[in-house]
Amino acid sequence: MRIRALPAIAVAVVALATMPAMASAKEKYKFDFQKDCPELTCTGTLLERSGTAIRASFVSTTATPLWFSADVLGYSAVETFTRGGSSFTMNLVGIFDYNADPDVTQVLGSVISGSWLGQPLTGALVQGSAERVFGTTVRGLLVISPQP
């Protein structure tokens, strides 16, 4: 009877031993932002979930067009998010679809340097999207997935 209980106890011990590791697994970071993009350089701010600008935050983007076809622009970009002592810079590739209503952009890339709230982000996967809200202003969401 005791021998049969051994596997169950071993599973429980392994589960308890790995629980702190699972609890400390790196969470995804989600950033709402708004920026004005009159040409190939954009500036803006991070946003609260309510849409209110976060004081002392900054978003800066420099884009380079790669191709344009059927009202869709392919581009690369370097983008930096900053707030207080936290800052990180990303390399991105994206498309901006002028056929969509409203215009929409999708990006994919990685963090090339920096950290957020003391958490190193270099090498983290970046995924995001934004849509034109008025004039040359876009609003969107960026998700950062740190490497394990």
> 3 in a domain, yes or no?
no
11 backbone dihedrals φ, ψ, rounded to 5°: -65, -45
In a structure prediction context, what are the per-residue pLDDT tens digits for the chain, which is 148 residues long?
434 433 333 333 333 333 333 333 468 999 999 999 998 999 999 999 999 999 999 999 999 999 999 999 999 999 999 999 999 999 999 999 999 999 999 999 999 999 999 999 999 999 999 999 999 999 999 999 998 7
> 58 in a domain, yes or no?
yes
Q: Domain range holding 86?
A: 26-145
pLDDT at 147: 83
> 91 in a domain, yes or no?
yes
Q: Note if the bond before 146 is cis, omega within 30 degrees.
A: no
**Local structure of 141: helix, strand or coil:** strand
> Would you list the DSSP string of 96-135?
EESSSSS-EEEEEEEEEEEEETTEE-TT-EEEEEEEEEET
> 33 in a domain, yes or no?
yes
- Specify the amino acid at residue 53: A
pTM of the model: 0.80
Pairing state of beta strands 137-145 and 86-97? unpaired
Question: What's the structural domain count of the chain?
Answer: 1
